[in-house]
Amino acid sequence: MLTRVKSIYLYIKEKGTVTTRELVDEFGITQRTIQRDLNVLEYNHLVHSPSRGKWTTTNKKVKAS
């Protein structure tokens, strides 16, 4: 897992549900970059968006070492 993508995943897992804006503010990168990273996580079934602009982790088991 890419370091930034992994950090985003762990941040969402820790916080429960976060908004895209929170991620932009926390990681100091553009909304487009956050969206690309979230797309990678979503493609791998690690996060999902229960409502527009909000993100939460799935129950998929992951080894985050």
Sign of the Cα pseudo-torsion (36, 41, 1, 18, in order): positive
Domains of the chain: 4-57 (1.10.10.10)
Q: Compute the distance between CA of residue 31 and CA of residue 35 in angstroms, rounded to an integer.
A: 6
Write the pLDDT tens digit of every residue in 2-48: 899 999 999 999 999 999 999 999 999 999 999 999 999 999 999 99
Write the pLDDT tens digit of every residue in 41-57: 999 999 999 888 899 99
- At 50 the pLDDT is 87
User: Would you say residue 65 has pLDDT above 80?
Assistant: no
pTM, two decimal places: 0.88
Which strands sit side by side in the sheet containing 17-19, from one edge to the other? Answer: 17-19, 54-57, 47-51
